Chain A
Amino acid sequence: MFFRVMESSRLPDLVRGFAQDHEVIGPVAKDDRFVFATIDDPAELRLDYDTTLLPPKKLFFPAEDQLMRFRVADNEVLDDEVFAAPRVLFGVHPCDINALLLMDNIFLKDYVDPYYKARRDATLIVGISCVPSEECFCNAWGTDEAHWGFDIFLTDLGDRYFISVRSVKGAELLDDFVETREITDADTADFQRVTAERKEMFAEDLDTSQLPLLLDAKFDSPVWDALGERCLSCGACSMVCPTCYCFDVRDDLAPDQKTGTRSRLWDSCQFSEFSAVAHGQNFRDSRASRVKYRYYHKQWGYLSKFERVLCVGCGRCARACAANITPREVVSALAKGGFE
């Protein structure tokens, strides 16, 4: 990987440069929280954000996504083209970069998903270093750092950014729009110091070492029943999760009933009908079984295929849960056999 250094004051130049040929999307304030939104003025960017309400997945796998238009009479597809304009996603934290890599395993492998792929291919990723908040536990999965999955990554050294350059496109755009210089030993030393200081900021370590084993060995643990009692099956955890990819498919007819659209919508394994089949059979009809399945799939199902857990420790589900169920609590309760 190549590295460059840029004075912090140059950042607006970089954003304005990107904006010449790209839609620039980055974190902006919304009430007292943050969201990823289109940036018109570099001053709107809030690179000091803790986390966003929704993760970047909404930009690649929208909450409602039209797949095709159809004609009813002969069951014919009229249009399934995907249009994705070039854009830069500016200021993505390591957890969310890693989350997109986990989504790639689902949408870009085996049966390639053309909708996700078109948007992924059209989007440059500019990563930014972050300061861990109370809910963060990315360090438990090793997703506290991003080693790939970005075009350039900015580590804030105070008066300057230490820039990791991953892609040709990233290198070119950097050269085109902003003045940078080669790194010195002092820059690298500061980079190491900042990285080490950040590691110290995480809350207490979460022991996940035996988790896949525990999920099977304690499959019938009363912990799940207790969580089922609290869970409201609202699905908020799935909606805000940067790695939850489940979807429903829905057909909508035009008013003339002759044509229509087929769309997919975010779905959640926490919804009661998620696993129901015809004749009233529902393979997960209790809230406990659904809460358990979410953890089982994330920490073992996905792992069994891709050797990574399907969680990046962003903490959004913990913030979103109306019943205050947090992964940190679930994981330690499972290990200990109960809640403290």
Chain B
Amino acid sequence: MALSNETIQNKLIEKFGDQVLNFSTASGILSFESPKEINLKVLQYLYEEPSLGFTFLTDLCGVNYPDNIGAELVVVYHLHNFSENIRLRYSISTSINETAVFTVSKLFESANWMERETYDFFGINFVGHPNLKRILNVEEMDYFPLRKEYPLEDQTRIDKDDEMFGRG
């Protein structure tokens, strides 16, 4: 009955072999990775396999690791099995030059906007998404602001005229 992290890990390895990798457990949540090509297969398996039943997509977000050449962008899925009350973290990585990733919005309606948000901030191109356009930023924006190549303004800069705002 009780679903444990080991059971999940074994089931995944049984199904996908060495394509699922880097299993680790951080603060109780099992995390693993896979090549981006099979993300839909993995999520569908987790969703449809009755003994796993990860039918709830809690969260989907992007992360940018500029130092991981060839895997700069990461998409992180947080899944939840309500009846067993267990969470799972699954991530795929993609190159910043070739950001196509399959959408999971057919599996989870909730992924629709979360993928739009991830596209908006990281420029990850979700292939097959019904309406992939910017959601929080203006449509005219031509960059992806949460990427690490866009640092926040230096708070100690002094070349700016702030008199208009009472900070001069």
Q: Bound pair: A and B?
A: no
| Interface residue ranges, A against B (CB under 8 Å) | none
| Interface residue ranges, B against A (CB under 8 Å) | none
